[in-house]
Structure 1
């Protein structure tokens, strides 16, 4: 199997095709509650700063569909980590003992994230800087560096196969793996399906997903089940889609005797993930619900509280944008500020 070969001149990256509704900032630097977004902007209600929640925010109980064992309510240990009782991870699992610090993007685009924005050595130096910040902010939690590569990009045009998505060449993955070796980093392959499906896209990546240091990300924002053009509105994944992904990864772990896989699921609105209570947890796969919204810290905190904390699955992630987060005149959140979020995310992504 070969992914479609492309050139820089023919690449139409998602960042260039997305329709973005820019939020307005008032004098306090907050985003209007009416603001919406594509490609990572969070939804409304910027005023909620405290994630501790009231009695109406009590965590729900989860059921393990495979073992039929009820989960205990979500608990926080003394380190602030989110603890979910359920299937015990297999030996070699990265979470919850480490925190992942990932640089996100596409090697063919300077507009899709820090991973492709800078020359390799400069990008790695910047990654080193963020890793050191996190090590200083939380010395008790070792940091696992990561490169998060968008390997299938949503498109504003249908293309020859009417998928509204473009598959990158395998050589991009090879290059990313070579770069990752320089920092003993793990690699995530991220999929923006457009009008395609996870069932069509994930198997094409199997030669790489069988490697112990390669994991998967799926972006609901560009999953256009209603036939819309990617970037015109926010897409959605259902629990059935996520269960397909975890079952596929589970099979690879069992067949190849490799450590558990990580699955990163992007989310910043309610509708992006439907029926989250039906997501199956498996010992071979660690699921991270990743808060993908941008804006000032108050808005990011509220989005995390609304769509991650209120619908817990297993582990949590939090995204930081070097450029978009400062558009309202406020600085990007520091590691120490992120660590005040309830619960503390164990996957941090920088774009």
Structure 2
């Protein structure tokens, strides 16, 4: 018996092993080629979940804020009752009663009939910063109406659809600081601002009710600018900034800073900002024969001529005093509306 050489089958086993290893490798290669081909077809057709873009939500632009929407002026006219709370002598809005509301709406309706093109918005011009003849604890010759009273007026106006002017008289108070004190109320869309330079002494050179005041555009412009920014800041309609004028301008005077001759030294320098509706409001007091002619001439000079000369305010306002001026002859709504341009804010005091 002849023995076979040792390991005579080794080459055959190695060939068999290589064949066994080649099969899975070939299968793997086929799978890779198939996957790559699938991916490429998906990219070409843009239908493969591997290559499909991630869906993003459609972006819609948010509505652009428009301060003109709902603004009181120029589409409407305002008729308001004036008062210091609790002081009957100051105006018919000194207390909140149903009778006062009826009277206010009746007065507003008269102007509505005279000019149907401008719906009338009724309102209250409420003194919230009250001038004093004494310095008081803060040394400001003024005091604030208490918050509870202001809140009652706010809710009354909200309930009955009235505008509310917060009337600032300042005394020695810092004007911008005084405005900012009442800023929380000004976030409301129906609350506006009135200022009375007659009681304003930013240089501490007089006492309210004793001395005459004289203010400058530089005293009023920070207030105008602050109120102009409020619509965008609080997303509310454009606000009214009403400046009461009791005595003449100083623009044509040799000494425009003389309190005896002028109340606003340089009206020409008032800030012109279209983001706020500035109203020059004639609130001089009549009550004697010829007073209607005098007040008519004041409106022509302080409002109509000033509007044309300076072009930094757009609207005029006018005040009637029920009790004081009826001693002679109360100016009628027809006479008020005959002023040129017709006042857009008309207030009534006592």
Compare CA radii of gyration and give the structure with the larger one.
2
TM-score, normalised by the number of residues in structure 2: 0.71
Compare the two structures and name the one with the higher helix fraction.
2
Q: What is the CA distance between 1:89 and its match in structure 2?
A: 7.0
Map of 1:171 onto structure 2: 148
Q: Is the 8 A contact 1:222 1:236 kept in 2?
A: no
Following superposition, the deviation at residue 108 of structure 1 comes to 2.2
Q: Deviations over 1:44-96 (max 9, x none)?
A: xxxxxxxxxxxxxxxxxxxxxxxxxxxxxxxxxxxxxxxxxxxx973332211
Deviation per residue, 1:181-240 (Å, 9 max, x gap): 343111110011111121220010111011111110110000123521111233233212
Aligned partner of 2:229 among 248, 251, 261: 251
Distance 1:288 1:114 in 2: 22
2:120 to 143, 159, 177: 143
Structure 2: stretches of 5+ with no match in the other structure: 1-65, 249-261, 308-312
2:129 maps to 1:188: no
Q: Please, which moves more after superposition, 239-248 or 201-210?
A: 239-248
Deviation at 1:153, TM superposition (A): 0.5
C-alpha contact (below 8 Å) 1:104/1:113 kept by paired residues: yes
1:263 positional shift: 0.4
Match of 2:344 in 1: 346
Q: 2:72 is matched with which residue?
A: 94
Paired residues of 2:96 and 2:153 also in contact (CA < 8 A): no
- Structure-1 separation of matches of 2:105 and 2:206: 39
Tell me if structure 2 keeps the 8 A contact 1:260–1:283: no
Distance (Å, rounded) in 2 between the aligned partners of 1:304 and 1:149:
23
Q: Aligned-residue CA RMSD in angstroms?
A: 1.7
Quick check: 1:326 aligned with 2:326?
yes
Q: How many residues align?
A: 261
Displacement, 1:106?
Answer: 2.0
**Distance in 1 separating the partners of 2:277 and 2:186:** 14
Residue equivalent to 1:131: 108
Cα distance in 2 for residues equivalent to 1:347 and 1:111: 21
Tell me if the contact between 2:82 and 2:124 (Cα under 8 Å) persists in the aligned partners: yes
The CA deviation at 1:252 is 2.0
Equivalents in 1 of 2:164, 2:98: separation in Å? Answer: 17
Which stretches in structure 1 are left out of the alignment for 5+ residues? 1-87
